[in-house]
Amino acid sequence: MLRDFTRKTARGTKRLTKAGAIAIGLTCLGLFVSIVSDEIQRKKDALAAEAETRRTNEIILAGQPLSGLDFELRFGSSNPFLRDAMTRGQEKINENAKDVQGGVPSTPFEAEDYEDALLPLINYIARIGQQNIGKEKPPESKPISSSASIVLIALDNSPNSILSFGAINQDLVWESETTKAISVGFLGADGFKRGRTYPHAFANISEGSDGATSIYGIHWNLDPSTLFGALDRQNGRIPTTANLPKILKVAIFFDARELPFPKNDFGTQSIDLWKVDKAIVHEIKISPEQSEGMKVTLAANGFDDLKREYSYTRMFDVPVIDDIEREFDAHCVVLEFKSNAN
């Protein structure tokens, strides 16, 4: 057999025949395929082991009480009105930071951040697509409202635990009176933060043309103390766990002068806020230019390697009407995000 792969030359040396060269080539190819297959299998096994470890850790984490949370919502937009509003807001924040006497700014830093960055961004998100469901003006042509703007995030499937932040006015009418303190996601009457941390808006403004996409978002890192003061629960006896929902729902009340909640208690409401009833709600269609790649990221209890990422799926305009047909003077939208985890 070996004779078929070599032949003698006139000088008596051996040289590979064509069949020999092909045989060696096939052998090398087979060796290469074997090595590549082994490497692919090794990577598959490593990924499977990593995924299994992550699933195990997620199961362990899900059974733990929720003691800390890192929340971030971000999206891209080429909307020129939003770009201008956030640019002007940052300029005001910078001016306020320079106007400091005795270590104290003319306006508390937190109040300036809320007024000129967080609230304009909340109002923009709330009004995305309003003109598509019969509202008379697009969101960018309507000035920022001085009435209440409130963000509510359901942190479990029930939903029982509600994270909240935003701004309210003293003349806001509640469904009923209580002595409960409002979430630390709202600034105090003096304009200062009430928790160790507070939500803030960020903007990475593109330096390109007006049509370029800029990145906007809201971030809030809640330590155990802040988280405790930021949550409202429908049933206080049920503890909040780190078992985050697969479908994350975010409600935004805006242009609000009346609210369907007992005063300062967003865990109890007289309207069916979280259930999407297609008979009474309107789905809002938004374009990629308005909210490109909108997503939410949640990391529970400091486990950043187990953070859960949610992608935007849809938005609804929800009538603020209770079971006895009482209509509240407020607008509300609910955004849904789906977990990217398997």
How far lies 277's CA from each of 132, 273, 312, 319, 329, in Å?
19, 10, 19, 11, 21
Reading the chain (342 residues) residue by residue, the pLDDT tens digits are 545 556 666 666 666 677 766 777 778 877 887 787 777 777 776 776 666 666 666 666 567 889 999 999 999 988 888 888 899 999 999 898 888 777 778 888 888 899 899 999 999 999 886 644 344 444 444 444 445 789 999 999 888 999 999 998 888 899 999 999 999 999 877 777 888 999 999 999 887 666 788 999 999 999 999 999 999 999 988 889 989 999 999 999 998 889 999 999 999 888 888 876 665 678 888 877 777 899 999 999 988 888 999 999 999 888 898 878 889 999 999 999 999 876
**Residue 260: closest CA among 332, 185, 170:** 332
CB 270 within 8 A of CB 194: no
Q: How big is the chain by its Cα radius of gyration, in Å?
A: 29
Element (H, E) at 55: helix 18-62
The pLDDT of residue 146 = 46
Element (H, E) at 47: helix 18-62
Distances (CA, A) of 27 to 6, 22, 246: 16, 9, 51
Query: Would you tell me how many other CB atoms lie within 10 Å of the CB of residue 150?
Result: 25
Single pTM value for the model: 0.80
Residue tagged 């929720």 (tokens):
66
Q: Say how far apart CA 299 and CA 269 lie, in whole Å.
A: 27
pLDDT at position 191 is 75
The one-letter amino acid code at 201 reads A
Concatenated DSSP letters for 276-332? --TTT-EEEP--HHHHEEEEEEEEETT-GGG-EEEEEEEEEE---B-TT-PBPS-EE
Quote the pLDDT of residue 323: 78
pLDDT computed for residue 51 by the predictor? 64
